[in-house]
Structure 1
């Protein structure tokens, strides 16, 4: 015994030295282990497109054909994490990558011929998946252990656990908890229930026999998950919830593939693994269902395709995006994105012509325009119906989509005109202005529904041309000055709003009076458009066939307009009443001429105008004349004869009378003059107003206080009207005044009383 003790003492020093040296070598080796990538370098990931609320619109498989989503550990339900650790490696938090107790137990099982469980830790499984190791033989298993220790050397436990949750097999071509939760449960990993967590947690141990998509594997999954739940939560969990033992996964169906045209666009434009978009899935479903219902009704007439886009105007965010009636229908070329196709917009651009004309002082909403045959060089446009209305107000001409007034206004526009407006508004025009000519006002240039929605969004908001927004993020800054003034935008929308009575004329009754809308039918009946503004939202729809074949049934007011209002009715979008801007005013106008009323105008209407811009004159249409009661002839003056009476007649120019007759709307003409006397000369014109302010021969400066316009009219005058360089400024009472802020230059002021008598004054205004 003593000899043995002495021998042990003699060995102690060398053993300690060897142990110290081995520890030093192992420590140095541990420190010198190179840091590997945690994931395979060539590993691909699925890509996800989500709507504005986080709902998944689309999941694409990774390049190797597997569904695999990168999911942070913090975004996995805690029960799912607990179930995974319970089933795979309950000592994961304590071992250095290899569990020596499990290794010893496994070796003892091999030596005794009794299976006592494997020794693979969760870290070793990550190592196997990371390097693609073959671990059935001793060499592969040792290499797996080495790699596991290497991973533990450089990564935290949470990082390794997250990698396992991303790479573990979950049946079929599904890998990782993120993809499994989405494809087998239809939700994110954070939203899993406890039952779903237990059911998913048992799949990686036998993914070939526990495939949630196969009916034959359902019973095996149910038994295994019940066993796991009982082991993790205790037997009482199954007693408290009798259905838990038989619970199994029921996959919701195919992988998400919603809004396919939109998602394809997003994936082409953004290479991110997760693309968060502005689309609203609920709105998208409403649009798709509404279009499908409409096409069911129109397919018999040969109209088999449609598309629509909904935009929130203030942010320019796209909320709904339907590129075709049916993405999977090859017979209608459903995979084509119609929202990006260039088509003739027909009359859908006319509101912008009228807006430009308002800004340039050519019209106000009740200005009289001429709808009659007219040639513009070698361009001879006609109205859709081939008929003409004669004299018509600007609002009626726009609402009724009369071609001649629109082309005539486009011809009179100064500067870059409609062509320049469209270019600055984001419309791609590949040819010079001379190529399109005036035909551009009637749809002679191709435009996409997205470009049209961008124009209408500017009209509905601030007038600034900004690109449509498809991805969430900070708002984009304004890009350039407004295309139309605030006054023009307000007046154009007011002209287009409240025209629901046209629905009955056009064959449909569901017309929301809160919607400002316009239609467009392309030449040859190839395209039917409708664009509408309700509150802060813009909706553009297109109907037709991608083949471009004409169809006489493709009349926008009978096809696209009903679809527009049906979609608005389904969407229940809020309406926001917009107050009139300070840059517009209202005044009484003659209902027939659209001019300031004289004393004999029988019907008055309230009309909008832009002070200092809108061209409004005094009504010279309604005049009072003397008529001989016995002869019916017009008398020049009151000569005292018996039977004279005063009557009011309309004095239209001869060309206007001819237009009325041509349009089938004859007017009551004044009687012929007595003895060939033409006109109403001889009547006392009365005294013209006297301008009291501003004073003549005075110099005025801008930027100071407003100048008060004041006049002294003749007796019997109730209202006076003020003009600057033929632009209407406003009205005042006979004894009142009108504030005026002049612009630099020589300004010709004119005051007109309600009898048509006027006075003028020229003032000079300079910058101080």
Structure 2
């Protein structure tokens, strides 16, 4: 007998050790690690787009600390009163249930703890005695590995609520349309009733009677046990009255659809942060829906112009928060690649970078909006940029060039700034797609040679809206539960506040292009700073700009890169830009920034300087009229007016005199406007009246020999020309042009030492080129000369 007792004890010890070992050796149920549904939220925390969990269920993340504590109290009071004291198996409950079931001759009570129920949720088995034993073991195992709060959180995560709905948070949204942080007594009783028989009680008209009865039974039991929050004025309510209030509450009769708004942004954001169950975005629901409404209303018009795709980005530039992101017209439009998130696709920027070029040039002291600049044909070693109209204006103010989106003046500005410094500016502004290889880009960066996403374009434009400082662009709102880090890169100090303001004023001078059609709607439209862009081949049409609070970028085009004649920024994108901005932004108010009303800081950003009224440059003694303009306080242009010149004119001959000659001859000092030869030729071809040339110098009274030497206007030094094999060389002749200040000068031209012919100053001598390297020399009668080298391929 003693030996038997010892054997029994040893067996018990071995069995106990084996069970204990198994609890630590055997892995926990695999489904406990199942990922939740990813939820992308609006800025206010409400779900905007919910994805199915990987196992095909709707299962929102349920955070225990955010669950209504009254629900937790009711759950434990109804399902497992000793949850916090037992080890996964409640022996007292087992004895009670066994006794009750024997007495009634059927199963009327269960003894499953919350932990055992959790095991059944994640490892469903047939309802047999063997399954009960396994569940008891698994429950004990979970209690060894997890805290009570972790077990409770897992329980709430996997609670079944009918069909493919799991979890308390999911049920709260799909049953009642809100989260589980604050639940009414009727809602608590409903959420306790459904998991007991999910498919028989989930909200549907067929289940309504069963759900109503179960809700009443559970509410009555909890009220009696003082485990359920009473309704209004609880201190004056009896149990019966409280139950009557609960029964009077309407039942949910259907499962609400999970929100699936802004699909492009939601999918893109989930790809940026894989595995994060809850992404609190900065997107504002009202702004996003406004953008979608106007995009839909403009869709037919834009598609008739030839663009089947569109993208919109709206940023609150004061905070840097992304407020709206539209990826395309229609996510379900498979024919036109509707599922591509256009706001994150790089496209040719067209003319959108011109305001940035102007701001950088202003800070560099080489440009002002008032500057008169050349708009003439240019040739940079074979690169011959054109204006969109394929016409040239000769001379144009820079502010007018920006408003009309002329190309040549801005290509010339980038030439003066340098391509590398301009690219560095773009990088500081957030352009992330720039190729780092030296020499990869040329002057075409000024007019579409850089590709950027609408997100990047809008981010760049915030620097113009924020007095020269780019906004700290971000699209996730950090809070105490965030599982992600900072979602933006902060780059400061792009250009000066004064330059930003001057450019913004130029950008806001024009109203919306369709203003005549909309005049009946708004007599005094809001003012916005804006710029259009159209890529080569008419593949991309942009409009970007800003108001008082928001910066927006709109792209329209085709993802298959088809060009269409109607895909032009002012026609396709601009009307949509203005409709959106007028709905979400109050517009700019430059009147508030006048010297009389501006703050001290605003006044200090700009200073006044006197310039030539004709050219906008610093005046010389030859400038007869002057005016005052504003310039950035820390950046002063130094180049004098290049167009006005003074000549001392001999009263007898009408010819110009130098310093020595004028001392012995009666003369008058006169001011003349002198246009470069390229400008005169362009203006003459366009039919403009040309200013009279200054008279030439009298014989023996010219300026220094250096000044009288000819300068070659065409061709440019080190130019490479390519002859077309299918066209006769005689039809590809090159103009040789030189100019000088001397009156009546005539030049002789030589190519590789051989005399070619002669031509007057400013006029062309045509040369039939041959392949190879050539040295071209021009000389005058005094022996002055100039030379250039060209390569003909």
Residues 210-260 of structure 1 deviation map (CA, whole Å, 9 limit, x = unaligned): 232x4422343233324433443533135446732x42244332x222222
- Given candidates 500, 503, 514, the residue that maps to 2:510 is 500
Does residue 53 (structure 1) correspond to residue 44 (structure 2)? The answer is: yes
Query: Mean alpha-carbon deviation: is it higher for 38-47 or for 441-450?
Result: 38-47
- Given candidates 579, 587, 599, the residue that maps to 2:609 is 587
Query: Using a 3 Å threshold, how does the CA distance of structure 1 residues 435 and 284 change in structure 2: closer, same or farther?
Result: same
Rounded to whole Å, the distance in 1 between the matches of 2:376 and 2:419 is 26
Rounded to whole Å, the distance in 1 between the matches of 2:336 and 2:175 is 33
CA contact (8 A) 1:324 1:337 kept: yes
**C-alpha displacement of 1:477:** 9.3
- Given candidates 199, 204, 210, the residue that maps to 2:190 is 199
Match of residue 582 from structure 2: 569
Residues 614-635 of structure 1 deviation map (CA, whole Å, 9 limit, x = unaligned): 1353697599999x9xxxx999
Rounded to whole Å, the distance in 1 between the matches of 2:640 and 2:441 is 35
Rounded to whole Å, the distance in 1 between the matches of 2:577 and 2:442 is 30
1:122-201, aligned counterparts within 5 Å?
A: 122-134=114-126, 136-152=127-143, 157-201=148-192
Query: Using a 3 Å threshold, how does the CA distance of structure 1 residues 467 and 677 change in structure 2: closer, same or farther?
Result: closer
Query: Mean alpha-carbon deviation: is it higher for 548-557 or for 456-465?
Result: 456-465
Query: Using a 3 Å threshold, how does the CA distance of structure 1 residues 624 and 508 change in structure 2: closer, same or farther?
Result: farther
CA contact (8 A) 2:376 2:682 kept: yes
Residues 652-682 of structure 1 deviation map (CA, whole Å, 9 limit, x = unaligned): 5374565555445547x57999xx999xx9x
**C-alpha displacement of 1:568:** 0.8
**C-alpha displacement of 1:442:** 1.3
Rounded to whole Å, the distance in 2 between the matches of 1:137 and 1:427 is 62
Match of residue 220 from structure 1: 210
CA contact (8 A) 1:596 1:617 kept: yes
Match of residue 66 from structure 1: 57
Query: Using a 3 Å threshold, how does the CA distance of structure 1 residues 27 and 236 change in structure 2: closer, same or farther?
Result: farther
1:452-463, aligned counterparts within 5 Å?
A: 452-461=457-466
Rounded to whole Å, the distance in 2 between the matches of 1:112 and 1:87 is 21
Provide structure 1 residue ranges, at least 5 long, that are not aligned to the other structure.
1-16, 637-645, 682-768
Query: Using a 3 Å threshold, how does the CA distance of structure 1 residues 603 and 130 change in structure 2: closer, same or farther?
Result: same
Query: Mean alpha-carbon deviation: is it higher for 503-512 or for 289-298?
Result: 503-512
**C-alpha displacement of 1:158:** 4.1
Rounded to whole Å, the distance in 2 between the matches of 1:326 and 1:407 is 37
* Helix, strand or coil at the partner of 2:348: coil
Query: Using a 3 Å threshold, how does the CA distance of structure 1 residues 507 and 561 change in structure 2: closer, same or farther?
Result: farther
TM-score calculated relative to the size of structure 2: 0.70
Query: Using a 3 Å threshold, how does the CA distance of structure 1 residues 49 and 620 change in structure 2: closer, same or farther?
Result: closer
Match of residue 113 from structure 1: 105
* Helix, strand or coil at the partner of 1:541: strand
Match of residue 629 from structure 2: 606
Does residue 282 (structure 1) correspond to residue 293 (structure 2)? The answer is: no
Does residue 443 (structure 1) correspond to residue 454 (structure 2)? The answer is: no
Match of residue 534 from structure 2: 521
Rounded to whole Å, the distance in 1 between the matches of 2:410 and 2:305 is 31
CA contact (8 A) 1:500 1:513 kept: no
**C-alpha displacement of 1:308:** 1.0
- Given candidates 66, 75, 86, the residue that maps to 1:84 is 75
Rounded to whole Å, the distance in 1 between the matches of 2:81 and 2:408 is 82
1:302-321, aligned counterparts within 5 Å?
A: 302-313=306-317, 315-321=319-325
CA contact (8 A) 1:365 1:608 kept: no
* Helix, strand or coil at the partner of 1:440: helix
CA contact (8 A) 2:318 2:466 kept: yes
Match of residue 760 from structure 1: none
1:387-398, aligned counterparts within 5 Å?
A: 387-398=391-402
Residues 194-222 of structure 1 deviation map (CA, whole Å, 9 limit, x = unaligned): 4333222211011111232x442234323
Query: Using a 3 Å threshold, how does the CA distance of structure 1 residues 27 and 354 change in structure 2: closer, same or farther?
Result: same
Does residue 533 (structure 1) correspond to residue 550 (structure 2)? The answer is: no
**C-alpha displacement of 1:177:** 0.4
Query: Using a 3 Å threshold, how does the CA distance of structure 1 residues 206 and 664 change in structure 2: closer, same or farther?
Result: farther
**C-alpha displacement of 1:368:** 0.6
CA contact (8 A) 1:309 1:539 kept: yes
Query: Using a 3 Å threshold, how does the CA distance of structure 1 residues 384 and 192 change in structure 2: closer, same or farther?
Result: farther
Rounded to whole Å, the distance in 1 between the matches of 2:160 and 2:151 is 16
Match of residue 640 from structure 1: none
RMSD value, Cα:
4.5
CA contact (8 A) 1:625 1:649 kept: no
Residues 465-493 of structure 1 deviation map (CA, whole Å, 9 limit, x = unaligned): 78843333476897677443444333322
Query: Using a 3 Å threshold, how does the CA distance of structure 1 residues 611 and 634 change in structure 2: closer, same or farther?
Result: farther
Residues 343-402 of structure 1 deviation map (CA, whole Å, 9 limit, x = unaligned): 211111112222232233221121111123333332222221223333211111111111
Rounded to whole Å, the distance in 2 between the matches of 1:189 and 1:240 is 20
Query: Using a 3 Å threshold, how does the CA distance of structure 1 residues 346 and 114 change in structure 2: closer, same or farther?
Result: closer
* Helix, strand or coil at the partner of 2:208: helix
Residues 303-329 of structure 1 deviation map (CA, whole Å, 9 limit, x = unaligned): 332101123445543222111111122
Residues 95-133 of structure 1 deviation map (CA, whole Å, 9 limit, x = unaligned): 653252554443552465244323323232123334444
Residues 476-517 of structure 1 deviation map (CA, whole Å, 9 limit, x = unaligned): 897677443444333322322x32346368976679654221
CA contact (8 A) 1:589 1:607 kept: no
CA contact (8 A) 1:363 1:615 kept: no
CA contact (8 A) 2:425 2:494 kept: yes
* Helix, strand or coil at the partner of 1:175: coil
* Helix, strand or coil at the partner of 2:352: helix
CA contact (8 A) 1:38 1:163 kept: no
Match of residue 262 from structure 2: 259
TM-score calculated relative to the size of structure 1: 0.72
Rounded to whole Å, the distance in 2 between the matches of 1:576 and 1:192 is 47
- Given candidates 455, 478, 501, the residue that maps to 1:490 is 501
Residues 37-86 of structure 1 deviation map (CA, whole Å, 9 limit, x = unaligned): 58845533222222332222332222222222342322112343344345
CA contact (8 A) 1:507 1:558 kept: no
Residues 385-426 of structure 1 deviation map (CA, whole Å, 9 limit, x = unaligned): 223333211111111111111112222223624344445543
Residues 502-556 of structure 1 deviation map (CA, whole Å, 9 limit, x = unaligned): 6368976679654221110111211100111223532111012222211211111
Rounded to whole Å, the distance in 2 between the matches of 1:672 and 1:449 is 51
Query: Using a 3 Å threshold, how does the CA distance of structure 1 residues 220 and 115 change in structure 2: closer, same or farther?
Result: same
CA contact (8 A) 2:294 2:579 kept: yes
Query: Mean alpha-carbon deviation: is it higher for 316-325 or for 567-576?
Result: 567-576
Query: Using a 3 Å threshold, how does the CA distance of structure 1 residues 365 and 315 change in structure 2: closer, same or farther?
Result: same
**C-alpha displacement of 1:333:** 1.0
Query: Mean alpha-carbon deviation: is it higher for 282-291 or for 79-88?
Result: 79-88
Query: Using a 3 Å threshold, how does the CA distance of structure 1 residues 288 and 347 change in structure 2: closer, same or farther?
Result: same
* Helix, strand or coil at the partner of 2:351: helix
Query: Using a 3 Å threshold, how does the CA distance of structure 1 residues 239 and 185 change in structure 2: closer, same or farther?
Result: closer
Match of residue 751 from structure 2: none
Rounded to whole Å, the distance in 1 between the matches of 2:153 and 2:490 is 44
1:237-256, aligned counterparts within 5 Å?
A: 237-240=242-245, 243-244=248-249, 246-253=250-257, 255-256=258-259
- Given candidates 231, 234, 241, the residue that maps to 1:236 is 241
CA contact (8 A) 2:499 2:632 kept: no
